[in-house]
Amino acid sequence: MIMWYVYVIRSVKDKRWYTGFTEDLRKHLSQHNSNLAGWTKGRGPFESH
């Protein structure tokens, strides 16, 4: 059975909130902080809440 995670992250840079879902939460947060995720590219670093 696949587990899905829903997450809320906040950009430290522009203070905006972003939501998403993933199977691998740690990997996806790392992708956001490495500018590898499309919608948040260039808006990191991010905090998770």
Number of domains within the chain: 1
| Tens digits of residue pLDDT in 4-34 | 999 999 999 999 999 999 999 889 888 888 8
CA angle 10, 20, 16 (to 5 degrees): 25
β partners of residue 9: 18, 48
Q: What is the pTM of this model?
A: 0.75
Q: Is the pLDDT of residue 44 over 90?
A: no
Local confidence band at 37 (pLDDT 50, 70, 90 cut-offs): confident
Local confidence band at 3 (pLDDT 50, 70, 90 cut-offs): very high
Q: Which domain holds residue 15?
A: 5-48
